[in-house]
Structure 1
Amino acid sequence: MARPTALITGASAGFGLALSRALVQRGWRVIGTARRGERLASASEELGTAFIAIPGDVTDPAHRALLAEAARNAGQLALIVNNASRLGPSPLVRLADYPLDELELVYRTNVLGPLAIVQFALPLLAPGGSVVNISSDAAIEPYPEWGGYGSSKAALDQLTAILGAEHPELSIYAFDPGDMRTEMHQAAFPGDDISDRPEPDMVVPALLRLLAEKPKNARYAATDFAVGRVS
């Protein structure tokens, strides 16, 4: 029986790496991409031949073409996870002072990149396949200084909801993993101690449960699928 294949962006660190590791351990093949080639190479060395590393930026059409070619060569995809994200300026700034060129980069990475991935990958999804776009509580809560990142994730949530309505035969979700002990979260709070946040691999089981249960297309948080929670 052929192993299922996942395409995961932002796979070199944090939640993307933790998810890639969990899937490979469960017999999956993962096409992983990220901007930082050295870190992606390190992930590939750890995970072995089941991890196909393709370094590059999801905002780059030429890079997306390489991802599309790799996905076609792998055969049908069972899962697409748009995890790559751009925080914006660090420290975070208020919208009145937000550099518009930085905001454009945030939107290109957090909104247009995921949509472009979905556009080429949807035809490659196996029947009953899943798409997961990684969201944030900043998409629904008006946190001061989170306007750039939060509004981009709100836009991604709406894109995800519409894709889910347009493709009811697929499982399409926005997934909010909550605060995690990641490099990006640290960049949002420079100098602060974030050691009380869970490691990404502690959140992965919630996403795996979402994928196993396949509820209706919607937005979900990790707390909705916490291990031990009764559905």
Structure 2
Amino acid sequence: MQNISTNQHESRVAFVLGGSGGIGAEIVERLADNGFAVAVHYSGNKSKADSLVNQIVNQGGKAISIGGDVADEVDMVKAFTFVEEHFGGIDVVINTAGIMLLSPIAEVSLDDLDKMHRTNIRGTFVIAQQASRRVRKGGAIINFSTTVTRTQLPTYGAYVASKAAVESITLILARELRGKDITVNTVAPGPTATPLFLDGKDEQTITNIANYSPSERLGSPKDIAETVLFLATSGRWINGQVIFTNGGFA
């Protein structure tokens, strides 16, 4: 379940759920570049997570990888405990883990709906519970939604329903953690040039989507990682918010 590639240190510690994915991996690298010890979570791609850990360690950083199902509370208790035992505590929890299955509402498979709700909603609750109990004073919890909660695009109904729930969980948790000096925010990216987004789209479709933004380009994982880094470090006066990181897409 775990891969350990460094000894315990005194750095600030970030636990990135979905850290082996496109945006997640960029966040991991950005945090490591800024001195964080990073725990890289993966669901199925252990080799990618381990490769990222090795890259960070070879550059003098501190990183470990750990697998598990974000919607399984037993897995996540073990994962959070492992990170705490290895690094001495947790300061920032970033939950990028999620799945997206698209279909018109009239045709959506209820099995697909259940899969998204399990990962995107139950998973967010499981992570939020562990993070709210374990993140140290001065820390941050950062969830992930999507700009599509505001653009109302066809075929996104079931997915958006799950991500709208993430936004609501965030707003309430921020207020429930009153007095603990822990911020809770959600980052809601617009169209971002990751393999997941680009897969199955022809060049003209991608160009049309990019041109919809005033910036006339897609976002990059680096754009999203910069927002996360700000919330994880100096953005202490931002709390209980949904940050639409989309270049003006909506």
Structure 1 residue 223: deviation in Å?
A: 5.5
Task: Determine the structure 2 residue equivalent to 1:229.
Answer: none
For residues 104-183 of structure 1, the aligned pairs below 5 Å read 104-169=114-179, 170-183=182-195
Structure 1 residue 145: deviation in Å?
A: 0.2
Equivalent position SS for 1:127: strand
Q: Does 2:54 match 1:45? A: yes
Gaps of 5+ in 2: 1-8, 208-216
The answer to whether the Cα contact below 8 Å between 1:173 and 1:217 also exists between their aligned partners in 2 is yes
In structure 2, distance between residues paired with 1:78 and 1:210: 12
Task: Determine the structure 2 residue equivalent to 1:100.
Answer: 110
In structure 2, distance between residues paired with 1:111 and 1:59: 8
Task: Determine the structure 2 residue equivalent to 1:207.
Answer: 228
In structure 1, distance between residues paired with 2:73 and 2:133: 18
1:217 maps to a residue whose letter is: G
Aligned match of 1:12 in 17, 20, 23? 20
Provide the TM-score with structure 2 as the length reference: 0.81
In structure 1, distance between residues paired with 2:50 and 2:229: 25
Structure 1 residue 123: deviation in Å?
A: 1.9
Equivalent position SS for 1:176: strand
1:99 maps to a residue whose letter is: S
Query: Once the two structures are superposed, what CA deviation does each residue of 1:165-203 show, in whole Å capped at 9, x if it has no partner?
Result: 11133200011122211122234xx13234742320233
Query: Once the two structures are superposed, what CA deviation does each residue of 1:57-109 show, in whole Å capped at 9, x if it has no partner?
Result: 21233421321221331322110101011012xxx310111111111111111
Aligned match of 1:21 in 23, 26, 29? 29
Pick the structure with greater CA Rg: 2
Task: Determine the structure 2 residue equivalent to 1:216.
Answer: 239
Gaps of 5+ in 1: 225-231
Provide the TM-score with structure 1 as the length reference: 0.87
In structure 1, distance between residues paired with 2:48 and 2:158: 26
The answer to whether the Cα contact below 8 Å between 1:138 and 1:153 also exists between their aligned partners in 2 is no
The answer to whether the Cα contact below 8 Å between 1:139 and 1:152 also exists between their aligned partners in 2 is no
The answer to whether the Cα contact below 8 Å between 1:71 and 1:124 also exists between their aligned partners in 2 is no
Shift of the 209–223 alpha-carbon distance from structure 1 to 2, 3 Å rule, reads: farther
Shift of the 221–182 alpha-carbon distance from structure 1 to 2, 3 Å rule, reads: same
In structure 1, distance between residues paired with 2:219 and 2:196: 14
Question: Could you say what the CA RMSD is over the residues aligned between the two structures, in angstroms?
Answer: 2.0
In structure 1, distance between residues paired with 2:229 and 2:32: 13
Equivalent position SS for 1:185: helix
Percent identity of paired positions between Structure 1 and Structure 2: 24
The answer to whether the Cα contact below 8 Å between 2:142 and 2:186 also exists between their aligned partners in 1 is yes
Equivalent position SS for 2:106: helix
The answer to whether the Cα contact below 8 Å between 1:37 and 1:56 also exists between their aligned partners in 2 is no
Q: Does 2:77 match 1:68? A: no
Query: Once the two structures are superposed, what CA deviation does each residue of 1:130-157 show, in whole Å capped at 9, x if it has no partner?
Result: 1000111122332110011111100110
